[in-house]
């Protein structure tokens, strides 16, 4: 699972496919709500606010 900014979206998808050998599901963080999970405050690759969740 990756939480990334829009700049690192493609990089995260590539890495996901490499690790899990299947295409990820992609969600916009703004459009989903979590009950028991709080989204990380920064991108997996940099310090920007994350925009997408890749699972
Ligand atoms: Zn980033």
The token pair that represents 31 in the structure block? 């459009």
- Tell me what pLDDT residue 38 has: 78
Position 35 confidence tier, pLDDT thresholds 50, 70, 90: confident
Compute the distance from residue 8 Cα to the ligand 1 centre, in Å.
Answer: 5
Integer Cα distance of 1 and 12 in angstroms: 9
Of 40, 38, 53, the residue nearest 6 (C-alpha): 53
Over range 23-27, report the average pLDDT: 95
Q: What's the CA-to-centroid distance between 17 and ligand 1, angstroms? A: 18
User: What is the whole-number distance in angstroms between the Cα of residue 12 and the centre of ligand 1?
Assistant: 9
Centroid of ligand 1 to alpha carbon of 46 (angstroms): 4
Distance from the CA of 45 to the center of ligand 1, in angstroms? 5
Q: What is the pLDDT of residues 2-18, one digit of tens each?
A: 999 999 999 999 999 99
What pLDDT, on the 0 to 100 scale, is given for residue 22?
96
Quote the pLDDT of residue 44.
95
In contact, 24 and 16? CB cutoff 8 Å:
yes
pLDDT of 24 > 80? The answer is: yes
């Amino acid at each position: 699972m990756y939480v990334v900014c829009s700049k690192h979206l493609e990089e995260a998808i590539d890495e996901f496919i490499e690790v899990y050998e299947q295409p990820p599901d992609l969600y916009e963080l703004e459009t989903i709500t979590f009950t028991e999970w709080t989204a990380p405050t920064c991108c997996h690759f940099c310090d920007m606010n994350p925009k997408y969740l890749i699972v």
